[in-house]
Structures are given as structure tokens and as C-alpha cells.
């Protein structure tokens, strides 16, 4: 075993693996660290902690053993070993020692930056010469953003009197010096690990995600440039009029050429990036000088045109009234961020090849100035040529009419450059053709150099995860191609992507500000910028004021102002449109979960919650709970329960499982003692009983997948579809499919955590892709907006109905799996480095977004189909039909989806098969978690894994048989055990309250975790106050309503008597 003797405070030596011996011969066991820990003895004296065996035992608390002195260095030291025989208070002792050991790797203020900063780059992994470095950095910023995007944004945001946008120049200049993160650690933007204070900041990942995913559409625009270069060189004649040119552009985007050229652009960029910094340097050194030469030549030619001065004067005319329009500021800030690449993370990737001698501050100051000057030149060139050509050909046109024509040149003025340049050049004969070819060659070069930066950032980030350079580049190209396909096929999608991700760059800029603020701006300027750089400009103090005060104020102010204007003055802001607040919110926040943690772990945890509860149960519950006026009140209550019920309980489950490394039965036994062993059994039994009937629903999905693929025709009417469902439920096929589902889950669970991880990593991504495809298709249906408006219309009188609260709470518990215990079972595989708090917050939010998406899909399709087929139906009649689709609206999804898809021919059959394939995958991924919980619980009783899995499958099959035979029994089980989840949630609250909420927050959550979010004090108030109040109030209110207004004593599917009978059934995991 490796030994390491380290000097400690007060003399003596410390054996890194076998504990510590101080000057007074007192021995303390020590966790192994990457370095010695000279602060440990001081910390021990300050805390006045005695040896573990001398500490008195308290009444309650988890039992944790110390780490043995002979522990192997190959064991998982992040695990939390559990022992019932050891002292219950050893945990806090271990945490103090562990935190001290971890702290010894941190750096004090007095230590030199050279002690912890990364070494110089290896030879061959840096820029070879100054011009190559300059051209590569210029290639990042000099792109189609200057030539194509800036002129069209100026035209779109201008009034009839002139352009009055505010140039937020200091946004770009202030952010660009942060590129010093790159040379400091020689990694991409995802890994700001140059200093311990930066290692916990995960906001860095947002930046490269926004670029790698949000900028995939940019490759499509570069493909347009390739096509127009071909037109300029090969077509017999250039278009001579604006309608003719616009027709060429529209015909081009209506073909598959954009997709082919999108692929060509990515291949060119891939070749350059594949060779690393050398390839990047050569490509930019060849293309950027040619690009600048062409821009300057074309600019001077445009100034020589008659009436060019009219366009230039218009650009520099002010319309002060436009300053009251927030969109002017939003467009200016987004364009500046897009134009200078500030906040994208590109410079961090390129700066990874910098040395300390590279003038990063010089580049960060001069390059954006040069870039914005080039943008201004391109804007002047285009405005001069457009005004000159229109005034000469149509002298009667006024300036407002010319501006209107420029704004109408394609969706969002997207085709402005591609419409007018060929027309203008056609008037110059052979010289015009040469100039046109040179212009689009310049535009192609500009796009390729920028795309090289985007691909390099994505590839560099993937490479930093341990992937080889070649495979990282290939992965980056594949992701960029797939994400860019929708933009290549639809210009409306491209316009939407340009709007959303241009706006999101302000958020990325804020992330950089957070990094500097969290690290300490003064220290960042001194250590990271001025002290680290050699032969560079010194960054003045004014930069701190800009990065800490001005930039965040601008960004937050613009975002809030724009959101207020959308909500207050734009009708239907909540609809999913090309440019709407809802679209921006969904697209800009829905990607935050990618590449942040282990993908297998993320997909496994998502598989727990993303199931038929999202796709099958949520739409039918919202239909049942809605009034004739709308569903918004239910949705609002449902969202409130997400933050005041589901998230606090899920955090409790994750942290409890991570700490005890066992099932809920073991967790409650260790925390509360043998007398409360039955509480963990109750929670496990609830989840088990839900899984027993849930597998029947998954079997329905298997059957409808078979129907979609093999039947001659899908049902075309609602009665016909309902007959298929009812005939199916009367046969033995539900029992067969119930068995099939359990066998699939058993095979996965039998292999343990590896099988679970592999299965979910395959099923969950496919499920999400299918959900998104069907969702976007449903929104394209005529009258889909009627269903969406109904979902977001409130009927405030329903707030007086207790059933809406019960349904919302039960659905949230079912949807997020809060209180089921499945997270405790999965968290048993967590290490202390796993972000349990992060998972507990982000995954339920993402899950509910998926549920809302599925609800919108079903409502949009049902309303669209019924209105088209039966135009005389009113909204209350449509709602009544949705409520009557099967017992308890059980067959809503299975009734309507085949009917809707039948109207689309072969495309509908494919979509229907994909939908039920998605539903099957969702059900299997959730069932895996239920079976794992049951098997893990049986395994904790000393049964081997194989026999625990077989036993759980047999019991699930037997208990699920009644639900497979009768849909009425299934409806009853769904009602009873969905309600029982509220009681399970109260059990978790009771554990925290019994243990002491303050101590649970400190010891079990915050101190035990490594590299996780710190849970704030508000969680104690919610878990110990609000959650119990909600649970008890809902139960009491619902019981009162049943006793007062119903025959509660009768045995019916949904009655108080049936709940009392079923919940008192002995748990299969309890002991007598």
C-alpha cells in the first residue's frame, strides 16, 4: 500500500492512509487526500471534538462507522458505510475530518498564482505565430454575423425616420477578458477548475450548450452562402428585379439543397478542427485576409453608387421615440453579443492554446472594436446599395417605402442580403458577376471561420470529458447536424432559433458575470488577468465596475423589460410561436440538464419520473379536473404543489438514500429504530401496489403499438376507437402484456445498476425525441390553438372544490414519484459527489415540463380533430366527450390518438406507432424503478439479488392480475394508491421532524455532500411546516367532503370506505 509521510502542525508526521499522530500522541483517523492537511489539528482543537469512542450517544440518529485504518486505496471512499453496531454520532466526527482534509487542497490568498495555475502548453498545442493567432481570433468574430445578420437586424429594428438602437459596446468589451480562463487551465469553457472556488460553479456549462446546440442553425446560413456563390458563378443571368431574386431564394429553401449544403459546411469545418490547433490556424490564416480584402473592396464600390448617400444618411438619422421600445435594446444587445461572440465561450476554447505571453487583454479590447467596425462597414455597404438601386429604378419611392421593402425581404428580413446583392450586381455586367461571386465567397469564408470556432468549442468540451480528439470532433459534427436539420428544412424554425438563442446569449453573459462575482472581482483582475499575463496590457479598475455593475444591470433590465412588454401588451404571449415569450423560455431553459452530470445517472433518474404518468395520466387527470371554462386553475395548483410538496420530498428521498445506501425500509429502521420499521414498509408497499397495476397500463401501450403497426386501418371515429379499447380490455391480452412488461423489467433489474443504467440510457432519449416531434406536429394542426387556450383559461370558482387540490397533489406525487421511495432505492447507488440536491430540484421541474407538453399535445389534437369533424360542437361538449372516454377517462389517450393519426394516411400510421413506442418506453423505464425498489427491499433482508428480483416479479404479477382482468379495478387502484402517496409523503416529513430538521439539513444534506448545491434554510420551513399542513389539510378536507355529501360507507371504486379498507391491508414487507 502506498505510504506518504506529511509534516503536520506541532511536529511529527502523518501517514496519509493510516491516520495522524500529533505532538501529544493523540491518534485521529484521517480520510486520504491528495495532499497533507496542516489545518486538521487546529480545526480539531477549535471544534473541541473528542475521540469518536468517547462521544456520548444521543437518542436518535443514523448509525455510521468510521473508516478502518487498513482500508484499501481502491475502495469507494465517497460511499457512506453503514453499521448498526457502531456509535451513532461518528458521522459528524467523520464529516469534520473529511471537510478538513478536502479543505487542505484549497489555496489561501497568500499563495502565488503560479502554484496552482496550469503549466504552459505542450509544444505543438499552441498557436505557432502571431498572425495565425490574430486571424484565428478574428475568424471567431468576423462572420456572417457582420455581413448577413447585422444589416438585417438594423433594417428590422429601424423606424421610418432612422435607426436608433443603443450599441451596448461595453457588454462585449467587458466580457471578453474572461477568456483568460482558457490560458489559465487549458480546458474548454465547461471546466473552470483553475481554482477551488470555481470548481463548484456549473453555470459555465450553459455557455457551451447554448453554442453547440443553439448555434446549429448557423451552419444552414453558411450553406445558403455556398448556394449563392454557385448561382453567381454558374447561372446564365443574375436576377434583375427584387421579386425575381426573392423567388430564387424561396425556391431554394423549399428544396433539400439547404440540408445538403448544411452537411457540406460541417464536413469542411470538421476537417479543420480534426487536425487541432494547426488546422484551425491554417484555415483562418487563408480565409480571413481574403474575407477582409473583399469586404473593403465591395464597400468602396458601394460608396461610388449614385444616391448611396441617402442610405448612409438614413443609417445615421435618429428617431428618439424608438428609445421607448424595449425590443430595440434587446436586439442591439443580442446583436452585439452575437457579433462579438461575447458570452459564447468560443474565446475560452481558443484561449486554451494561449501562453502567458499572449496579450489576452489586448485581444479582448481591440478585436471587438475591429469586429464592430467591420459590421458597420457591411451595414453601410448594404444600405448604400439598396437605397441606390431602388431610387434609380423607382424614383417615386419614399424612404418609408424603401424601409418597408427591406423589412419584407424574407421572414424577419432573413433574405435581405441574399435578395438584394444579386439584383444590384446584375446591373454591372461581367464586373457585377465577379463582384457578386466575390461577395458570397467572402460570406462563405466568414461563415466557415465562425463555424470552426463553434465546432472547436463543442469538440474541445467533449474532449475534456476524456474522449479522444477524433471521436470528440465526430460527435460534435453529428450533434450539430441533427440539431440543424429542422432549420435546414424550415426557414420559420431557423428564424425562431436565431431569435431565441440570440436572446439567450445575454443569459450566457450573465453566467460569466456570476463566475467573476463568485470568485471575487478584485482578485480575478489581480490574479487571473494582470498577474498571470506577461507582456500584456494591465486591465484598469473600471472593468470591475462594468462586469459587476453595468453588465448585470443591463442584461437583467433588458430581460425584465422585454418580458413585461410581452406579457402586458402582446395577446396570447403564452402560445408557442416563432417569436414569443413562452417559446424563448421553453427553449432557453430546457437544455440546462445536458452534460452536467453522468449521462447514465441522469437518464436513470429521469426514467423514474418520465413515464406514462406524463403521457397517459396527466392529460386525463387535467380533463377530469377541468370545468367547462378551462384548466388553468388546476395547472396553477399543480405547479404550487410541485414546489411545496414534490421537490422538498424528492430532496429528502435522494439525500436519505445517498446517506443510508439502502431501501426506505432500511432507512427508516436506521433513523427511527425498530419500532418504526413498519413506516418504511408502508412506503415500499404503496410503490409496489402502484407498480402492480401500472404494468397493466404499460401492457396497453404494447398492444396499441401492435395495432399501429399491423392493423389494416386505424380507427377513424371516436366510437370505433372506444370499441377497440373496450374489446381489448375484455380479453386475456392485458394479462399477457402485463406479464411481458414484468419480464422485460426483470431482465434489466437482474443485472443490477449496470442494467438499469444501460436500459434507461437507451429508452429515455428516444422517448424525449418522440414526445417533442409529436408535440410540434400537434401545434401545426388547425384549431389547435382552441385547445391550448382552453388549457390556459382559468375558472376561479373551482378553487373552492377540494377535489382539485387532491387531484393536483396526487398527480404531482404520481408524476414526480415524490414519496414513492424509488429515489431512495436509486440514490443507494449515489456517491457523496453525486448532486442529490441538484437532482431533487431540476429533475421534477423538467418532468413537469414534459407533462405540460404532453397535455398540450393531447388537448391540441382532440380539440383540432373534433372541431374539424364536428364544427357544431361547443367547448363544454368537447370537454364532456374527453371526460367520458373510458372509466375515469382512462382510455383518453388510447381512444383519441389512433383517431387523430388515421387522418394523416401513412404519415399518421408512422406517428401513431412512434407515439405508442414512446409510451411503451416511458412505462418500462418507470416500471424498472418500481421493480428495483421492491427487489432492493427484499435484498436488504439478506436475500440474494437473483431471488429478490424473481420474488418481486412474482408478487407484482399476482397482485396485478385483478387490474389486468377488470378496468374498473384498475381505476380503483389508481385512485386509492394515488391518494396513498400523500400519506407516504407525510411519513418522510415525520422522519425529518423526528430526527431534527436543522440537524438533517446540516449533517445529512449539506455537510455530507461534496460538490453539490447548498440547500437553503427555507427547505426546513417547507418540509417541517408547509408539507405536513398540506398533506393533513387535504386528507381532512377530502374526508369531510365525503362524509358530509356522499354515501361514504358504500363500497365503490372511489369512496372513503374503500380507501380505509385497502390502506389497512397488511404490507407484504411488514412483520407481525
Annotation: binding site for Na(+): 607, 614, 847, 926
- What is the residue whose three cell numbers read 415500499? 684
Contact assessment for residue 718 and residue 895, using Cβ atoms and an 8 Å cutoff: yes
Kindly compute the dihedral angle of the four CA atoms of residues 848, 853, 854, 858, in this order, to the nearest 10 degrees.
Answer: 140
Alpha-carbon gap, residue 787 to 626, rounded angstroms = 12
Q: What are phi and psi of 21, to 5 degrees?
A: -125, 120
Alpha-carbon gap, residue 216 to 487, rounded angstroms = 8
Q: Which residues pair with 15 in a beta bridge?
A: 5, 19
Looking at 534-598, list the stretches that DSSP marks H as alpha helix, in order from N- to C-terminal side: 542-545, 551-569, 581-589
The 10 Å Cβ neighbour count of residue 288 is 21
Rounded to the nearest angstrom, the gap between the alpha carbon of residue 321 and the centroid of all alpha carbons in its chain is 38
Alpha-carbon gap, residue 62 to 369, rounded angstroms = 61
Contact assessment for residue 449 and residue 283, using Cβ atoms and an 8 Å cutoff: yes
* 113 secondary structure, DSSP code: G
Q: 396-405 — which CB contacts under 8 Å span 24+ positions?
A: 399/160, 399/310, 399/314, 400/160, 403/155, 403/158, 403/160, 403/314, 405/242
Rounded to the nearest angstrom, the gap between the alpha carbon of residue 589 and the centroid of all alpha carbons in its chain is 6
Q: Measure Cα distances from 1054 to 884, 975, 987, 1064 in Å.
A: 16, 7, 23, 16
Show binding-site residues: 607, 614, 847, 926
Q: What are phi and psi of 718, to 5 degrees?
A: -65, -45
Contact assessment for residue 624 and residue 1054, using Cβ atoms and an 8 Å cutoff: no
Alpha-carbon gap, residue 202 to 998, rounded angstroms = 27
Alpha-carbon gap, residue 518 to 73, rounded angstroms = 34
Sheet holding 27-28, edge to edge: 5-7, 13-15, 19-21, 27-28
Contacts of 340 (CB under 8 A, 6+ apart): 141, 172, 176, 367, 368, 371, 372
Contact assessment for residue 529 and residue 177, using Cβ atoms and an 8 Å cutoff: yes
Rounded to the nearest angstrom, the gap between the alpha carbon of residue 849 and the centroid of all alpha carbons in its chain is 11
Residue 49, judged by CB atoms within 10 A of its CB (0-12, 13-18, 19+), counts as: middle
Alpha-carbon gap, residue 656 to 1009, rounded angstroms = 12
Question: Which segments of 435-500 are extended strands (E)?
Answer: none
Cell of 238: 443574375
The 10 Å Cβ neighbour count of residue 109 is 7
Query: Which helix (H) or strand (E) is 21 found in, with range?
Result: strand 19-21
Amino acid at each position: 500500500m502506498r505510504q506518504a509521510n506529511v509534516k503536520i502542525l506541532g511536529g511529527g508526521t502523518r501517514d496519509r492512509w493510516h491516520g495522524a499522530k500529533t505532538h501529544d500522541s493523540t491518534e485521529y483517523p484521517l480520510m486520504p487526500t491528495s495532499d497533507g492537511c496542516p489545518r486538521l489539528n487546529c480545526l480539531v482543537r477549535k471544534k473541541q471534538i473528542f475521540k469518536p469512542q468517547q462521544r456520548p450517544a444521543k437518542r436518535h440518529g443514523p448509525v455510521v462507522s468510521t473508516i478502518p485504518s487498513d482500508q484499501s486505496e481502491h475502495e469507494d471512499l465517497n460511499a457512506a458505510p453503514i453499521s448498526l453496531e457502531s456509535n451513532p454520532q461518528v458521522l459528524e466526527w467523520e464529516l469534520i475530518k473529511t471537510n478538513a482534509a478536502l479543505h487542505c487542497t484549497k489555496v489561501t490568498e497568500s499563495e502565488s498564482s503560479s502554484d496552482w495555475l496550469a503549466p504552459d502548453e505542450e509544444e505543438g498545442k499552441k498557436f505557432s505565430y502571431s498572425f495565425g493567432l490574430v486571424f484565428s481570433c478574428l475568424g471567431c468574430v468576423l462572420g456572417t454575423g457582420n455581413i448577413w445578420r447585422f444589416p438585417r437586424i438594423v433594417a428590422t429594428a429601424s423606424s421610418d425616420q432612422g435607426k436608433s438602437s443603443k450599441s451596448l459596446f461595453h457588454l462585449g468589451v467587458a466580457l471578453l477578458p474572461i477568456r483568460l480562463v482558457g490560458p489559465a487551465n487549458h480546458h474548454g469553457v465547461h471546466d473552470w477548475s483553475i481554482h477551488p472556488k470555481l470548481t463548484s460553479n456549473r453555470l459555465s456549462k450553459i455557455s457551451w450548450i447554448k453554442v453547440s446546440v443553439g448555434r446549429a442553425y448557423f451552419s444552414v446560413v453558411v450553406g445558403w452562402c455556398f448556394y449563392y456563390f454557385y448561382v453567381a458563378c454558374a447561372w446564365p443571368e443574375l436576377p434583375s428585379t427584387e421579386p425575381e431574386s426573392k423567388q430564387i431564394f424561396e425556391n431554394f429553401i423549399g428544396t433539400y439543397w439547404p440540408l445538403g449544403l448544411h452537411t457540406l459546411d460541417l464536413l469542411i469545418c470538421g476537417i479543420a478542427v480534426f487536425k487541432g490547433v494547426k488546422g484551425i490556424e491554417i484555415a483562418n490564416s487563408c480565409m480571413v485576409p481574403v474575407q477582409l480584402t473583399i469586404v473593403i473592396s465591395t464597400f468602396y464600390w458601394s460608396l461610388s453608387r449614385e444616391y448611396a448617400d441617402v442610405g448612409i444618411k438614413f443609417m445615421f438619422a435618429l428617431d428618439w421615440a424608438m428609445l421607448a421600445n424595449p425590443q430595440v435594446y434587446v436586439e442591439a444587445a443580442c446583436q452585439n453579443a452575437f457579433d462579438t461572440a461575447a458570452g459564447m465561450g468560443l474565446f475560452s476554447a481558443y484561449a486554451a492554446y494561449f501562453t502567458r505571453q499572449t496579450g489576452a487583454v489586448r485581444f479582448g479590447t481591440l478585436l471587438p472594436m475591429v469586429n464592430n467596425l467591420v459590421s458597420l462597414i457591411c451595414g453601410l455597404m448594404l444600405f448604400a446599395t439598396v437605397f441606390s438601386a431602388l431610387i434609380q429604378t423607382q424614383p417615386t419611392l419614399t424612404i418609408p417605402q424603401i424601409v418597408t421593402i427591406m423589412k419584407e425581404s424574407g421572414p424577419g428580413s432573413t433574405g435581405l442580403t441574399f435578395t438584394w446583392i444579386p439584383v444590384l450586381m446584375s446591373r454591372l455586367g461581367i464586373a457585377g458577376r465577379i463582384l457578386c461571386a466575390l461577395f458570397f465567397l467572402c460570406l462563405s469564408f466568414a461563415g466557415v471561420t465562425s463555424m470552426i470556432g463553434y465546432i472547436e468549442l463543442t469538440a474541445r468540451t467533449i474532449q475534456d470529458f476524456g474522449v479522444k480528439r477524433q471521436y470528440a470532433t465526430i460527435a460534435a459534427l453529428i450533434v450539430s447536424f441533427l440539431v440543424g436539420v429542422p432549420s435546414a428544412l424550415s426557414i420559420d424554425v431557423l428564424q425562431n432559433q436565431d431569435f431565441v438563442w440570440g436572446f439567450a446569449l445575454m443569459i450566457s453573459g450573465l453566467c460569466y458575470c456570476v463566475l467573476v462575482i463568485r470568485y471575487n472581482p478584485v482578485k480575478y483582475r489581480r490574479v487571473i488577468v494582470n498577474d498571470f499575463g506577461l507582456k500584456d496590457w494591465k486591465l484598469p479598475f473600471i472593468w470591475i465596475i462594468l462586469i459587476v455593475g453595468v453588465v448585470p444591470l443591463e442584461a437583467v433590465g433588458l430581460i425584465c423589460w422585454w418580458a413585461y412588454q410581452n406579457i402586458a401588451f402582446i395577446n396570447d404571449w403564452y402560445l408557442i410561436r416563432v417569436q414569443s415569450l413562452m417559446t424563448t423560455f421553453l427553449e432557453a431553459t430546457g437544455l440546462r440538464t445536458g452534460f452536467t452530470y453522468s449521462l447514465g445517472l441522469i437518464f436513470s433518474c429521469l426514467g423514474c419520473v418520465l413515464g406514462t404518468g406524463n403521457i397517459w395520466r396527466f392529460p386525463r387527470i387535467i380533463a377530469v379536473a377541468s370545468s367547462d371554462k378551462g384548466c388553468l386553475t388546476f395547472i396553477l395548483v399543480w405547479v404550487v404543489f410541485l414546489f411545496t410538496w414534490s421537490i422538498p420530498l424528492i430532496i429528502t428521498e435522494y439525500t436519505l438514500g445517498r446517506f443510508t445506501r439502502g431501501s426506505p425500509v432500511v432507512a427508516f429502521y436506521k433513523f427511527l429504530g425498530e419500532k418504526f420499521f413498519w413506516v418504511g414498509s408502508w412506503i415500499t408497499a404503496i410503490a409496489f401496489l402502484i407498480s402492480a397495476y401500472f404494468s397493466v397500463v404499460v401492457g396497453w401501450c404494447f398492444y396499441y403499438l401492435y395495432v399501429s403497426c399491423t392493423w389494416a386501418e386505424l380507427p377513424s371515429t371516436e366510437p370505433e376507437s372506444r370499441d377497440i379499447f373496450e374489446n381489448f380490455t375484455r380479453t386475456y391480452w392485458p394479462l399477457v402484456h402485463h406479464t411481458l412488461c414484468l419480464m422485460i423489467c426483470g431482465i434489466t433489474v437482474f443485472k443490477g445498476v449496470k442494467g438499469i443504467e444501460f436500459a434507461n440510457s437507451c429508452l429515455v432519449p428516444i422517448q424525449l425525441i418522440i414526445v417533442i416531434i409529436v408535440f410540434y406536429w400537434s401545434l401545426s394542426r388547425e384549431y389547435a390553438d382552441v385547445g391550448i387556450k382552453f388549457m390556459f383559461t382559468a375558472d376561479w370558482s373551482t378553487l373552492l372544490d377540494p377535489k382539485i387540490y387532491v387531484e393536483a397533489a396526487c398527480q404531482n406525487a404520481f408524476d414526480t414519484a415524490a414519496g414513492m421511495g424509488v429515489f431512495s432505492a436509486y440514490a443507494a447507488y449515489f456517491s457523496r459527489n453525486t448532486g442529490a440536491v441538484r437532482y431533487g430540484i431540476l429533475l421534477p421541474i423538467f418532468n413537469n415540463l414534459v407533462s405540460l407538453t404532453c397535455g398540450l399535445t393531447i388537448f391540441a389534437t382532440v380539440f383540432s380533430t373534433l372541431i374539424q369533424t364536428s364544427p357544431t360542437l361547443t367547448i363544454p361538449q368537447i370537454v364532456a366527450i374527453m371526460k367520458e372516454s373510458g372509466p375515469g377517462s382512462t382510455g383518453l389517450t388510447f381512444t383519441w390518438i389512433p383517431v387523430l393519426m388515421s387522418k394523416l394516411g401513412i404519415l399518421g400510421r408512422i406517428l401513431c406507432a412512434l407515439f405508442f413506442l414512446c409510451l411503451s418506453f416511458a412505462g418500462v423505464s418507470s416500471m424498472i424503478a418500481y421493480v428495483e425498489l421492491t427487489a432492493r427491499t427484499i435484498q436488504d433482508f439478506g436475500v440474494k439479488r437473483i431471488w429478490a428480483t424473481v420474488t418481486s416479479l412474482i408478487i407484482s404479477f399476482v397482485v396485478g392480475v385483478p387490474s389486468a382482468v377488470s378496468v374498473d379495478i384498475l381505476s380503483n387502484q389508481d385512485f386509492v394508491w394515488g391518494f396513498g402517496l400523500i400519506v407516504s409523503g407525510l411519513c418522510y416529513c415525520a422522519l425529518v421532524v423526528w430526527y431534527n430538521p436543522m440537524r438533517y439539513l446540516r449533517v445529512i444534506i449539506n455537510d455530507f455532500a461534496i460538490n453539490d448545491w447548498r440547500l437553503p434554510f427555507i427547505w426546513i420551513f417547507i418540509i417541517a411546516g408547509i408539507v405536513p399542513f398540506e398533506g393533513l389539510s387535504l386528507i381532512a378536507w377530502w374526508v369531510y367532503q365525503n362524509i358530509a355529501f356522499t354515501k361514504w360507507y358504500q363500497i365503490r371504486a372511489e369512496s372513503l370506505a374503500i380507501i380505509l379498507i385497502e390502506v389497512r391491508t397488511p404490507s407484504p414487507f411488514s412483520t407481525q
